[in-house]
Amino acid sequence: MSARDDILAAVQKGLTQGQGGAVQRRNPDAIRAEAAQLLANLDEIRPDLAAGDPVDAFVAKCANPALGVTLDRVANWQALPRAVIAYLDQHDLPHRLSVSGDPRLDALTGIEAHQPCAPDEAAAISVADWGVAETGSVVIHSAPDQPILNAMLPRHWLVVVEEKKILPFLDDYATYAASRPRNAVLITGSSGTTDIEGFFVRGAHGPGFVHVLLVAG
C-alpha cells in the first residue's frame, strides 16, 4: 500500500457512511462545531512552554543548540550599541552594519550604518516585530522601515527583540497578524542544511549566524 493510498484511506474513514455503505460528506456546521469545541480550552491543547514566563521560555528555546542561535540580554536601548560592538568584535567583524529603517537604530554610535543590504553583506541588524516563546522564532513584517533582505542576505544577522513583544504561543501571534501586511517572515534559528553528502553546511539559505539582542523593559 502506497503513502497515497494511506492518505486517501484516512480521508475516506473520516467521512460518514450512509445507507448501504454509501459515502456522504459530513455537515460543515457539525465540523465547525467540533473545531470550536476543541478550541474552547486552549490550555488543554497547547504544548508546555520551556519555562513558565514567556520571556524565560523564549530564552530557553534560543539556548537549544538545534536552533543555532546566540542571545544577549540588554538592559535597555541605550546599552544596545555596546552589545552590538561586542558581538562584532567577538567574530572579528568590522564595525559596519546594514541597518533597517527603524529610528531606534540611529543611536548605534561607533558603528558605520548603511542601506541597503548588499548580496555579500557580512552583518545586518533588524528590530523584530514579535518574538514567539513556544518556538524561539522572531517575526518581521515587510515595510518601508523593515527590509526583509536584512534577514536573508548577510552572513551574520543581529535581531533586536523587546521583552514586551514576546508572545507565548504561535497562535497568539496569528491574532496580532490578522490586520498586518501579508508579507510576514517567521525565522527560527540560523540557516543550515545537510543535503550535500550529509555534511552540515551553515548559511545555506540565509544567515549562518543569528544573534538575538533581547532588550528589557
Task: State pLDDT tens for residues 141-177.
Answer: 998 899 999 999 999 999 999 999 999 988 888 887 7
Torsion angle defined by CA atoms of residues 47, 53, 57 and 58, in that order, rounded to the nearest 10 degrees: 120
Q: Which domain holds residue 133?
A: 54-215
Split into its structural domains, the chain has a count of 1
Q: Which of 13-27, 138-152, 182-196 has the lowest average pLDDT?
A: 13-27
Say yes or no to pLDDT of 97 above 80.
yes
Q: Within a domain: residue 75?
A: yes
Which pLDDT does position 18 carry in this prediction? Answer: 58
Which pLDDT does position 183 carry in this prediction? Answer: 85
Say yes or no to pLDDT of 201 above 90.
no
Q: Within a domain: residue 165?
A: yes
Find the CATH number of the domain harbouring 164: 3.40.50.10420
Q: Within a domain: residue 39?
A: no
Q: Within a domain: residue 17?
A: no
Tell me the C-alpha distance between 33 and 186, whole Å.
30
Which pLDDT does position 53 carry in this prediction? Answer: 92
Closest CA to 208 of 171, 165, 154: 154
pTM: 0.78
Tell me the C-alpha distance between 32 and 197, whole Å.
46
Say yes or no to pLDDT of 21 above 60.
no
pLDDT band with cut points at 50, 70 and 90 for residue 79: very high
Say yes or no to pLDDT of 217 above 70.
yes
Average pLDDT, the chain: 87
Q: Within a domain: residue 38?
A: no
